[in-house]
Structure 1
């Protein structure tokens, strides 16, 4: 092969080294680094742990003779680093080659050959180091070669091969860093997602980050730096878009120069409002000084003034001078009041910051007397207060004093005091003005006369009229109720009567009891014996469901007449023995009723509301022990002994009358019932049923 300087030979060398990298893909680090200690002063030469012969600036050589062993060089056999050669000025970057090979299993090994090619400059470097004959060595051969002077900002391809086993090789690609180079990048702002997409061209790895540019570029709290490898993108998020938001990029090696772009600094106006909201902190009070801190990540400085809120506007406080200390703005001799605010102005934008409305040091209360007004002031700090009667100007809003100014002060160094001040009674259209007088800036609180009426006679007349009207209304309503009780049927309730058909005599008793409820108590009674045509047409079960819905709509009652025979039939129904000998109801009346009502009981018990159900049983035909447990939560009445209670119960659920009226009318009706033919007929039917029950038992 020709000399190193031959022009036609360099492309061939480049292609050959690229083929070597493909055959042996071991690569070095993608970014350069500098040895500890900064610029290192060293003597150029070779250092090894064995005696050697060195040959430099060799021609490119390739030997493809086969190897006699399967052993391969590990990646750590070849390491590359950058040092600075300062033999002259200025210093130049120089490549240091370190070789470390365990030669166990390589008895014929004589040395190493190293070849390097700067890809951009197309410059070839090489050296060969051979062990001298009879030189003593161990199992680990170590060589440090100082050094190749190279051009920064490009890649260097380095190949290490063994001699004579030159097919045992390793190749690495190494980037020669340029300390003066800055990484290039492109960005895309996605405003709706509050993030910035950043991309870098092909080359060494790059760190990118977002920062706020002040004296230095400070990191964002919500975003850190990200590593971008060659031809890849990174997405950086931000929380607040401020005019000093910048993008910064730098290489991964130490002391890399940084490239920074601040795309929002040229036109900061759209972002000033958000900058003020982020930078202005809460207002603090120290003694009589009102302080606010402006902690801005950007170097823009606003103009700060004081203003007073009035009618939705903030009117400038001309006499107030806002002082500045560092990043804090404060106003001295000011009361803690939400009307006094700070105004921050920057590039045609402004932000008004006021104290918290609840953050007050004193409160007042006013009570009107016959001839005077009592003003009570509660203060948590030592302070002085002034008050006066004034007349408000409707055009300007000012309140000019109409009386002397009354002053009062708390004791010094005493907190949480209550002060009382007597003022003359204000006239019509006058107001009371109260303010703190020991500070320069205090809000004047106005309490106008329309807030409390001084026309006591008018109030008394109005109250008397209301009381008289209320009494007349109550008396009129009560009289109407009493009149309705004595003149109209009181218990016009819809009652669904459910029974067990024990016998023909018992059916006659049920019909008599239904007639008693209808004719004496005025109830609308639903009974299957009175509606047999409909029952025969639609069936017993649909008839019961239809009538149950009607009772529910009319807010009526389901009245169950119970007997000893009902208990036995209920047990048979629970066991579904509807075809047993004891079941004498050919139309399945009792079973239809129980099937319909059982679901209602489950729902009602769940809501603890059983007032729509009532159970009655006749004396001698049933006892309380004969009633199932599931029915014992509803009202039970023993007839005719509890007839008075039953009447009272029906009356109470009908008109919601006062208890005294219920008892009075119930007693009146009971006297009527005692002498009625209906009651005597009902008692006669009960006796017949008792006799029938005795015969069945015998």
Structure 2
């Protein structure tokens, strides 16, 4: 019968063997209409990142004698899962009969981050939902590279605080500036959203000129692969590249020496995403 398993609920629980040896497990609750031929139940989980895990919960003879033809409440929390995983859970009787099974998908909470940008105040208004109920939650701003390096803006959301809204200030709205969140636990997976990921234009600001050394310099706020050169702005809006001025950029500072400041002297940035031209001396400005 398809109603062998009823009132099934799935959640998560933290199990700890020591102070720091904690791991996340599924908490499965179900009601089973126990028949005399049912010796136990199989409980299996499978996900894209893990092999199938199965447990057999068997009933002793004395238990069966007391509970046969009654509804039995079964609880189990021995199947380990990871934060943010999508798992598929199947409950089956043992031995199996008539293909009776109860299956459902479950998403292990990892924390969902929503945000609003206040460009004038340079603030990010952040709200967190879908986080583990029994864990505090870190939220910070970071610059994404091979790792996400913190900018210093960091808040710990307490699990018992019903308000999960915070405001963090940023300096520049660059593409690699991200909001990162994770539960307070060992090896917690991290949720990351980058509000300004499409604002590549912001990378080309920050050109400086040293009139004493006669050098013009630029350094990216984010890692970017680009070819940078000096060029002379033409009347038609084209920028004629100066000979032997091309430099390939990955990180660090790019410097051009023996520069004579001129309103039509510009820097050209070429990436896979496009080409940008910045003219720091337009209008007699001398960035320092």
TM-score by length of 2: 0.50
Q: Deviations over 1:349-392 (max 9, x none)?
A: 524042483659xxxxxxxxxxxxxxxxxxxxxxxxxxxxxxxx
1:282 maps to which residue?
Answer: 208
Separation (CA, whole Å) in 1 of partners of 2:138 and 2:189: 10
Separation (CA, whole Å) in 2 of partners of 1:180 and 1:281: 45
2:189 maps to which residue?
Answer: 258
**Counterparts of residues 164-563 of structure 1 (less than 5 Å):** 181=83, 184-192=110-118, 194-199=124-129, 200-221=131-152, 223-229=153-159, 232-239=163-170, 240-253=172-185, 255-263=186-194, 268-269=197-198, 271-277=199-205, 280-284=206-210, 287=213, 290-297=215-222, 299-309=223-233, 313=237, 315-324=239-248, 326-346=251-271, 347-348=273-274, 350-355=276-281, 357=284
Separation (CA, whole Å) in 2 of partners of 1:218 and 1:321: 32
CA apart distance, 1:214: 0.8
| C-alpha contact 1:228 1:234 (8 A) present in aligned 2 | no
Separation (CA, whole Å) in 1 of partners of 2:20 and 2:242: 67
Separation (CA, whole Å) in 2 of partners of 1:336 and 1:283: 9
Change (3 A) 1:224 1:314: farther
Separation (CA, whole Å) in 1 of partners of 2:20 and 2:142: 32
SS in 2 for 1:274: helix
**Counterparts of residues 642-681 of structure 1 (less than 5 Å):** none
Bigger relative CO (Cα 8 Å, ≥ 6 apart)? 2
SS in 2 for 1:341: strand
Change (3 A) 1:333 1:343: same
Q: Deviations over 1:155-195 (max 9, x none)?
A: xxxxxxxxxxxxxxxxxxxxxxx895466111223234643
2:74 maps to which residue?
Answer: none
CA apart distance, 1:212: 1.9
Change (3 A) 1:260 1:83: closer
Give the structure with higher Rg (CA). Answer: 1
Greater strand share, 1 or 2?
2
| C-alpha contact 1:179 1:257 (8 A) present in aligned 2 | no
Separation (CA, whole Å) in 1 of partners of 2:285 and 2:178: 40
Change (3 A) 1:358 1:259: closer
Q: How many residues align?
A: 191
SS in 1 for 2:203: helix
| C-alpha contact 2:230 2:241 (8 A) present in aligned 1 | yes
Separation (CA, whole Å) in 1 of partners of 2:265 and 2:159: 55
| C-alpha contact 1:210 1:225 (8 A) present in aligned 2 | no
| C-alpha contact 2:264 2:279 (8 A) present in aligned 1 | no
Greater helix share, 1 or 2?
1
Change (3 A) 1:264 1:214: same
Q: Deviations over 1:41-61 (max 9, x none)?
A: xxxxxxxxxxxxxxxxxxxxx
Separation (CA, whole Å) in 2 of partners of 1:83 and 1:197: 28
Please report the RMSD computed on the Cα atoms of aligned residues, expressed in angstroms.
4.2
Separation (CA, whole Å) in 1 of partners of 2:15 and 2:264: 63
Change (3 A) 1:349 1:189: farther
SS in 1 for 2:149: strand
CA apart distance, 1:285: 5.3
SS in 1 for 2:217: strand
CA apart distance, 1:338: 4.2
Gaps in structure 1 of 5+ consecutive residues: 1-29, 35-80, 85-92, 95-117, 123-177, 361-698
